[in-house]
Amino acid sequence: MNRLQLRALLEEVRSGAVTPESAHEQLLQYLRQSPYENLGFARVDHHRSVRQGFPEVVYGPGKTPEQIATISERIVAAGHNLLVTRTTRDAYEAIRERLPAASFHEQARTITLRLTSMPPGRGTILVAAAGTADLPVAEEAVTSAEIMGNTVDRLYDVGVAGLHRLLAEHARLTAAHVVIVVAGMEGALPSVVGGLVDAPVIAVPTSVGYGASFGGITALLAMLNSCANGVSVVNIDNGFGAAAIASAINHLP
């Protein structure tokens, strides 16, 4: 149960769609959960969806497939949607034994399982990517945003070296409620997009490139120095983080 679901429940009580008794039961069930569950190697944060609108997300690196599966099982057991990021097919196999309904998104390297329907956002999140090599990060953003209850529009291979490809999609750009821009190399795309829209732009530098791209540092620095207004930046290759921010914006009251 997250903050928006809590508010919705109370609205339903007022409107009579839900009886006070049923609401009482649902709240009790939630409150019976400990705020976190200590597995020894991890403390699963069960109240995060109330505090932050989405349950704890499992960050894959540094955890064994067995640990990931155990944490995932506890999250689902608590009635939350599941999202695992930066993960592998091995982890997916371990999860599938316990949670057969889970899905693996190969290009995005994410695992998801949707238990409950999230409240829809106010508008569309557009995910734009500069080149084909940026797609894994862009797809991480897409699958993350979708599991968080957002409608997502994809706009791929629109790098600044062929501006007409971007300008031809001007209408989709300005229609978006939030824009995520994914780019490596010189990271110029967020500046150009930022000058064309008034929606907030979340820039995601990628490690695409070689030599003086320094594994994404160049794109990161370029985005931090954007001369366009309205551009904020997340870590290199952090498609999930961009989606979390975009979703937070898209779900503001």
Considering only residues 104 to 133 of the shown chain, the ones binding its own copies according to CB under 8 A are 122-123, 130-133
Between 28 and 252, name the residue whose CB sits nearer to its own copies: 252
CA distances for 167 relative to 114, 159, 216, 234, angstroms: 36, 11, 25, 25
Identify which range of 12-20, 22-30, 72-80, 205-213 contacts its own copies by CB under 8 A.
205-213
Can you give the three-state secondary structure of the chain, one letter per residue? CCHHHHHHHHHHHHHCCCCHHHHHHHHHHHHHCCCEEECCCCEEECCHHHHHCCCCCEECCCCCHHHHHHHHHHHHHCCCCEEEECCCHHHHHHHHHHCCCCEEECCCCEEEECCCCCCCCCCEEEEEECCHHHHHHHHHHHHHHHHCCCEEEEEECCCHHHHHHHHCCHHHHHHCCEEEEEECCCCCHHHHHHCCCCCCEEEEECCCCCHHHHHHHHHHHHHHCCCCCCEEECCCCCHHHHHHHHHHHHCCC
| 6 contributes a contact to its own copies by CB under 8 A | no
Identify which range of 11-19, 92-100, 112-120, 237-245 contacts its own copies by CB under 8 A.
237-245
| 91 contributes a contact to its own copies by CB under 8 A | no
Rounded to the nearest 5°, which phi and psi values hold at 196? -105, -20
Name which of residues 66 to 85 contact its own copies (CB under 8 A). Answer: 67
| 219 contributes a contact to its own copies by CB under 8 A | yes
Angle of CA points 91, 135, 184, to nearest 5°: 115
Minimum distance from residue 222 beta carbon to its own copies (Å): 4
Between 15 and 38, name the residue whose CB sits nearer to its own copies: 38
Interface with its own copies (CB under 8 A), residue total 97
Rounded to a whole number of angstroms, the distance between the first and last alpha carbons of the chain is: 17
Minimum distance from residue 54 beta carbon to its own copies (Å): 7
Identify which range of 6-14, 19-27, 98-106, 225-233 contacts its own copies by CB under 8 A.
225-233
Between 17 and 167, name the residue whose CB sits nearer to its own copies: 167
- Out of 12, 73, 153, 157, the only residue in the binding site for its own copies (CB under 8 A) is 157
Minimum distance from residue 230 beta carbon to its own copies (Å): 5
Minimum distance from residue 15 beta carbon to its own copies (Å): 23
Name which of residues 46 to 65 contact its own copies (CB under 8 A). Answer: 47-48, 51-54, 56-57, 59, 61-63
| 100 contributes a contact to its own copies by CB under 8 A | no
| 158 contributes a contact to its own copies by CB under 8 A | yes
- Out of 42, 73, 78, 140, the only residue in the binding site for its own copies (CB under 8 A) is 42
